[in-house]
Amino acid sequence: MKEKIVIGHINPDTDSVVSAVMFSRYLNREGKDFYPAIAGDVNRETEFVFSYFKEDLPMKVTKKESEDKDFFLVDHNDLAQSVASIKNIFGVLDHHLLSGMKTDETVFFRVEPVGSTATLIYKMMKERSMEVDEKEAGLLLASIISDTLNLNSPTTTSEDVDLYYELAEISKIEANNLAEKMFEAKSDFSGIDIKEIICGDMKEYDFGGKRIGLGISETTSLSYFNENKELIGKTLKEIKDAENFDAFFFGAVDIIKGETWFFPAEEEEKKVVNEVFEGEEKSGYLLLKDVSSRKKQMAPPLSEYYNKKS
């Protein structure tokens, strides 16, 4: 019998890892035998969260190891962002736009427009009258904090807000204090290669038949990116060529100011950025004020642009 795995997307973030852990527990409590896994190395924020709650990180599964396993996908439904293939998908639980996935058989599929997959998981647990303990509530809270930028992202919904405060009460955690520690860990770039920073939270898209890469890095200060603008530009081109992207973009998001420094890989991307976004052109990047969400404010206009060109 194939192993049954709950797994988030490649380049895992806090929401994808917590969701794998908590949704596997949901399925276990429903009498289904699933294990959590991750699809790559975690970032420093996620490392901090799991250390803070004294929770072991799930096992890592690569694309090569995926063939003899069945997967329940969480926090993604796009196979370009997954270690799974269409033939071994058991179900999907997500909060992102639909990728056009087609399956040969009927699978569980639930997608809702909330700020984090953890919000949806806790909502489902409440629907089944499943209780969570203090640690589980803390993990879910941290996941909502991460994906909604502590309720400051434009993706935040009233459901995220309500469950955020409910989980804070159950976990007995002061949420703003936890958020501050998480974002401090996220902003520590010491000893990390610039390519890892750019690709650490990178997603691949098919926009109008074009293979588009869009990486982001969230931080409480953009000073690191100011000091390394030339190196970022050079590295973006290297990544674009190495990964064979038709276009590659990178956004450094200032969590505090709610703005993004948007870096194009080459002149072609710069042309696209200037046409698609209303921003202030700076030396080496475009300043996008009141923009902090890849899902809601960066990817959709790029998708519209390339689909119109196709």
Torsion of CA 172, 173, 175, 181, to 10 degrees: -170
Mean pLDDT of 248-272: 93
Backbone angles phi, psi at 156, to 5 degrees: -65, 135
Taken as a whole, the chain contains a residue count of 310
Alpha carbons 205 and 214: distance in angstroms, whole number: 8
pLDDT tens for 116-153 read 999 999 999 999 999 999 999 999 999 999 999 999 99
* pLDDT, tens only, 40-88: 999 999 999 999 999 999 999 988 888 889 999 999 999 989 999 888 8
What 8-state DSSP symbol labels residue 79? Answer: G
Q: Quick one: pLDDT band at residue 279, thresholds 50, 70, 90?
A: confident
The mean pLDDT value of the chain amounts to: 94
Give the closest residue to 222 by CA, choosing from 277, 273, 261, 279.
Answer: 261
In order of their start, the domains of the chain are 3-184 (3.90.1640.10), 194-309 (3.10.310.20)
Instruction: Report the interhelical angle of 44-52 vs 175-186 (nearest 10°).
Output: 140
Q: Determine the average pLDDT of the residues in 264-274.
A: 90
Kindly give, in sequence order, each residue whose CB lies less than 8 Å from that of residue 309, ignoring residues fewer than 6 positions away.
208
Predicted pLDDT of residue 113: 97
Strand pairing partners for 252?
A: 217, 261
What is the Cα–Cα distance from 91 to 103, expressed in whole angstroms? 10
Residue 91 has which token pair? 């179900």
Angle between helix axes 44-52 and 14-29 (nearest 10 degrees) is 40
201 alpha-carbon distance from chain centroid: 7
Contacts of 185 (CB under 8 A, 6+ apart): 44, 45, 47, 48
Kindly indicate the confidence band of residue 226, based on its pLDDT and cuts at 50, 70 and 90: very high
